[in-house]
């Protein structure tokens, strides 16, 4: 392990994210963004989902230019970096290995500490990036992480003391969006497109079933099947059904998914008595869930924390802020650390 540093006056953290299909690097100084670069891989679009082998190859191509760009845009030299934070997991093994190996080598080469970060904790800690006019949650708060790979409700007691109190038993909510979109013939990732069409549609036009799952857990596999059967039945009667009703179908799908999420969040608030609610992950960009939370602020007096769009989908600023708080605690990793495809909060 590199020598523990003297605590520098200014803490510069280089964050590296490569868990799925975004190669990202960011530099933060004392928690403030100096640069935040993301190279989103387009190669997967033609396959309708992320192809792991292609993702790791693209990470290999992207990682050097992305990190170069992040350091250049931050207007610092490599010598200024206090520590390197990287995503250890969860994610795709081949993708994680690229970021992990690169972070280790750079840390070794520069003789600065290495900090491993849990991607799901980072989605939550994105709320602690220093921004003007942005309020941070206070501990304890509830966080709902909703992405293409995860759906969790987490009780956040402290920066790194988190408890999963509900999670999906099968598909993630992002998959419910993306698979529904695929059934409608929309390209991957379909979540943002459903959101776009939903804005002009009638959310009550079609009724989709909500799963009956106990406690604070979720299930989305039945929902996707219900959308498939519905679309198959309707297109048998009218081959142009999707084309004629796309906006209404999207609005109805989004309405149901948002209701499923909000039902569980309300239950979590009731059970824990915590009224501070944060969201994170790709699906937190969705206008339906954002509006539902704004509404809950007024209706139930919750205090909601909704991330800026650039911190919703995968990014390295969130990895760097998690690294920043570990740096303050002097919690460093040694070179024996390995990528972890499954990595609990």
Q: Which residues bind ligand KG4 (CB under 6 A)?
A: 20, 147-149, 174, 177-178, 189, 191-192, 195, 281-283, 285-286, 313-314
For residues 233 and 344, which CB has a smaller minimum distance to ligand KG4 in the complex? 344
Chain mean position to CA 134: 19
Residue 178 counted as an annotated binding residue: yes
In the bound complex, which residue of the shown chain has the CB atom lying closest to ligand KG4?
282
Choose among Zn ion, ligand KG4, none what residue 189 binds, the Cβ cut-off being 5 to 8 Å by kind: ligand KG4
Residue 145 counted as an annotated binding residue: yes
Residue 123 counted as an annotated binding residue: yes
Stretch that binds Zn ion, among 52-60, 291-299, 309-317, 333-341 (CB under 5 A): 309-317
For residues 70 and 198, which CB has a smaller minimum distance to ligand KG4 in the complex? 198
- For residue 178, state whether it binds Zn ion (rule: CB under 5 A): no
Q: In terms of Cα–Cα distance, which of 247, 245, 317 is closest to 70? A: 317
Q: Which three-class secondary structure state does DSSP give residue 280?
A: strand
**Closest CB 53 distance from ligand KG4, rounded Å:** 18
For residue 179 the two structure tokens come to: 């698979």
Residues 339, 163: Cα–Cα separation, whole Å: 22
- For residue 151, state whether it binds Zn ion (rule: CB under 5 A): no
Q: In terms of Cα–Cα distance, which of 164, 183, 116, 45 is closest to 320? A: 116
Choose among ligand KG4, Zn ion, none what residue 192 binds, the Cβ cut-off being 5 to 8 Å by kind: ligand KG4
How would you classify the pairing of strands 141-146 and 151-158?
A: antiparallel
Q: What is the DSSP letter of 127?
A: G
Residues 244, 256: Cα–Cα separation, whole Å: 20
For residue 83 the two structure tokens come to: 């520590």
**Closest CB 311 distance from ligand KG4, rounded Å:** 10
Residue 59 counted as an annotated binding residue: no
Residues 55, 86: Cα–Cα separation, whole Å: 17
Residue 68 counted as an annotated binding residue: no
- For residue 21, state whether it binds Zn ion (rule: CB under 5 A): no
Q: For residues 130-149, which are near Zn ion according to CB under 5 A? A: 147
**Closest CB 203 distance from ligand KG4, rounded Å:** 14
Residue 201 counted as an annotated binding residue: no
Residue 122 phi/psi, 5-degree rounding, is -65, -40
- For residue 314, state whether it binds Zn ion (rule: CB under 5 A): yes
Residues 186, 289: Cα–Cα separation, whole Å: 21
Choose among Zn ion, ligand KG4, none what residue 191 binds, the Cβ cut-off being 5 to 8 Å by kind: ligand KG4
15 Cβ partners below 8 Å, 6+ apart?
24, 25, 26, 27, 28, 85, 86, 117, 316, 317, 318, 319, 320, 321, 322, 323
**Closest CB 289 distance from ligand KG4, rounded Å:** 8
Residue 19 counted as an annotated binding residue: no
Residues 315, 136: Cα–Cα separation, whole Å: 19
Q: In terms of Cα–Cα distance, which of 159, 143, 160, 170 is closest to 264? A: 143
State the binding site. 119, 123, 145-149, 178, 191, 195, 286, 314
State the binding site for Fe cation. 119, 123, 314
State the binding site for substrate. 145-149, 178, 191, 195, 286
- Site residues for Zn ion per CB under 5 A: 147, 314
């Amino acid at each position: 392990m590199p020598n523990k540093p003297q605590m520098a006056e200014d803490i510069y953290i280089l964050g590296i994210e490569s868990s799925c299909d975004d190669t990202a690097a960011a530099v933060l100084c004392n928690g403030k963004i100096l640069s935040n670069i993301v190279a989103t891989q387009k190669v997967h679009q033609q396959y309708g989902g992320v192809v792991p082998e292609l993702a790791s190859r693209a990470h290999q191509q992207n990682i050097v230019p992305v990190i170069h760009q992040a350091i250049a845009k931050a207007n610092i030299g490599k010598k200024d970096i206090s520590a390197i934070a990287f995503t250890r997991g969860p994610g795709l093994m081949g993708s994680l290995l690229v970021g992990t190996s690169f972070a280790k080598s750079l840390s070794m080469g520069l003789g600065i500490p290495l900090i491993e970060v849990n991607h799901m904790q980072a989605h939550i800690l994105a709320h602690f990036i220093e921004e003007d006019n942005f309020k941070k949650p206070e501990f304890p708060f509830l966080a709902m992480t909703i992405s293409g790979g995860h759906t969790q409700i987490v009780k956040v007691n402290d920066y790194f003391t988190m408890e999963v109190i509900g999670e999906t038993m099968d598909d993630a909510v992002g998959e419910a969006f993306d698979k529904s979109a695929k059934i409608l013939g929309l390209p991957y990732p379909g979540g943002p497109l459903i959101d776009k069409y939903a804005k002009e549609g009638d959310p009550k036009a079609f009724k989709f079933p909500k799963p009956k799952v106990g406690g604070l857990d979720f299930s989305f596999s039945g929902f996707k099947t219900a959308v498939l059967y519905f679309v198959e039945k309707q297109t048998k009667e009218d081959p142009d059904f999707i084309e004629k009703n796309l906006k209404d179908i999207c609005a109805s799908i989004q309405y149901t998914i948002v209701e499923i999420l909000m039902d569980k969040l309300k239950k979590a608030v009731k059970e824990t008595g915590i009224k501070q609610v944060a969201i994170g992950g790709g699906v937190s960009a969705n206008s339906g869930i954002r509006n539902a939370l704004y509404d809950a602020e007024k209706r139930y007096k919750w205090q909601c924390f909704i991330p800026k769009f650039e911190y919703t989908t995968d990014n390295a600023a969130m990895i760097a802020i998690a690294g920043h708080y570990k740096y303050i605690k002097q919690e460093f990793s040694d070179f024996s650390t390995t990528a972890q495809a499954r990595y609990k909060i």
